[in-house]
Structure 1
């Protein structure tokens, strides 16, 4: 199972981040919810960015490029194996930064990856 950090976690059931959190948990993955609003998703509290977690396999992004800049250092310090850029979150600048630091950047949809067994 892949420990996954969700940036842009939301308590809104209509948001893809909410759906991904529930699907990840449902498939047995440990999740860490990072967001700006208090609450919980899939039984896991949403935290503000700050605490650096060890052994994060994947960070999945649900915030657009303008907001991502504030997370660059946080992502690099977390040092995941990969970062998934969900549709609408693609960011050439961050992808280059990740590659320069030996982190895989993947433009994909976490929900589709999970549904098709590619996660």
Structure 2
């Protein structure tokens, strides 16, 4: 399952870093996108979403304000689901995604992985 991590980081203290490693360890392919260059869990962190397609799940690690540049992309991407991790809550974007048929909800990616819900 291809998972796009928006707000990816190579900083081990960040939850997106932990999620990337847990996703890869669980056998998921990740596409990390973030503002800082580097790598996480064996994948290069991309600085742009250009050319990204065929994504099953998007897991957000960006504040509502920082999600704005990606809103149109997410609506056009039409992933199966978008996970709004704690601190990323955005009711307006969530409602738009749901209207487009995307399973969009607030949850913790790490908890989902730990409980077999991912």
Tell me how many residue pairs correspond in the alignment: 118
**How do residues 1-119 of structure 1 correspond to structure 2 at under 5 angstroms?**
2-119=1-118
Which region of structure 1 is more displaced relative to structure 2, 10-19 or 94-103? 94-103
Q: How far apart are residue 62 of structure 1 and its match? A: 0.2
Q: How far apart are residue 39 of structure 1 and its match? A: 0.3
Post-superposition, which runs of at least 4 consecutive aligned residues in structure 1 deviate over 3 A? none
- So what's the TM-score if we normalise by structure 1? 0.95
Structure 1 gap ranges (5+): none
Secondary structure of the corresponding residue to residue 33 of structure 1: strand
- Is the 1:38–1:47 Cα contact (8 Å) retained in structure 2? yes
Q: CA RMSD in A?
A: 0.9
- Is the 1:5–1:31 Cα contact (8 Å) retained in structure 2? yes
The CA distance in 2 between the partners of 1:82 and 1:34, in whole Å, is: 17
The CA distance in 2 between the partners of 1:78 and 1:48, in whole Å, is: 17
The CA distance in 1 between the partners of 2:86 and 2:48, in whole Å, is: 22
1:4-41 per-position Cα deviation (integer Å, ceiling 9, x unaligned): 00000001000000000000000000000011110000
Q: Residues 18 and 8 (structure 1 numbering): CA distance in 2 closer, same or farther, change over 3 Å?
A: same
